[in-house]
Amino acid sequence: MDENQVRPYLKLENVRDGVFYVANKLYGITFTQLDNLPLPHPDAQAFECKDKDGSHLGVLYMDFFPRASKKGGAWCGSYRSQTYKDGKKVAPVVTVVCNFTKPAAGQPALLSADEANTLFHEFGHALHNLFKDVHYYGVASVPRDFVELPSQIDEHWAFEPEVLNVYAKHYQTGEVIPDEIIEKILQQKTFNQGFMTTELLAAAILDMNLHTMTDVKNLDMLAFEKEAMDKLNLIPEIAPRYRVTYFNHIIGGYAAGYYSYLWANVLDNDAFEAFKEHGIFDKN
């Protein structure tokens, strides 16, 4: 698939609106842009999220482009977690952060298929935060096995033809993305899947090995990594998705839990099959 064929149909604002469209079809929620809130940067956007009954669910920030003060990658965080105070619900303030290439002045930001998928993924985390309704911080967390389920299942709608026909329109002509390009996008989803699964699994095993070490004297981290991968008979053409020197997931929330991406993948595929059986926007 030639990314240059796809990008003209994936204008950032259109993909964002596609994300909102899916959420509205599935859950009845709406997003309205707010112009009266402070922003972390002039390029950022803020939206009020309302539930299907019109009640306030929370505020969603979207911060799409890189800058010097910002780390790389994409993630979902929160400025304020949902809780209760004096018996009243305090709505969350959630942020979706990306590092898509900022366009030249007067030009639109055109995403790759992978970047569009990333936006759906992080928005799934945002939905998890926006729908949260707990009285105490201590019970707000979920098992690590579940953390990536809301994000990964949301990816499934990104390239469904029914959804692409709504948001994937040529930024110049307004033409809906042709069926032949949709077919290429769908075929790309499984291309090199063996490679991607193996590199992710290798990183998950490396994570587990690091957290079950008992002797760290005179530790040569690169030698440790090589020994761990040699035991797997990992071929030279495939490396762990993250090497020990930049494996940020191993410190903090994902410590010994990087496997959860794979386990959540089992869960999200199983769950989405139910939608495929009854209709991708079936609310039951």
Rounded Cα gap, residues 97 and 120, in angstroms: 12
Inter-axis angle of helices 193-210 and 221-231, nearest 10: 130
| 49 contacts 30 by C-beta, under 8 angstroms | yes
User: In a 3-state reduction of DSSP, which class is residue 22?
Assistant: helix
Catalytic residue among 3, 13, 115, 122: 122
**Tell me, what amino acid is at 272?**
F
The tokens of 148 are what? Answer: 């990536």
Residue 122 known to be catalytic: yes
Please give the DSSP secondary-structure letter assigned to residue 99.
-
Instruction: Name the nearest CA neighbour of 261 among 157, 159, 158, 147.
Output: 147
Q: Is the dihedral of CA 61, 67, 71, 73 positive or negative?
A: positive
The tokens of 239 are what? Answer: 């490396």
Rounded Cα gap, residues 93 and 91, in angstroms: 7
Please give the DSSP secondary-structure letter assigned to residue 250.
G
CA distances from residue 147 to 63, 122, 262, 265, 268 in whole angstroms, order as listed: 22, 12, 11, 11, 11
Rounded Cα gap, residues 243 and 10, in angstroms: 32
Rounded Cα gap, residues 97 and 121, in angstroms: 11
CA distances from residue 122 to 90, 127, 282 in whole angstroms, order as listed: 22, 9, 22
Ramachandran area for residue 48 (φ above 0: left; ψ -120 to 50: alpha; else beta): beta
Which residues belong to the active site?
A: 122
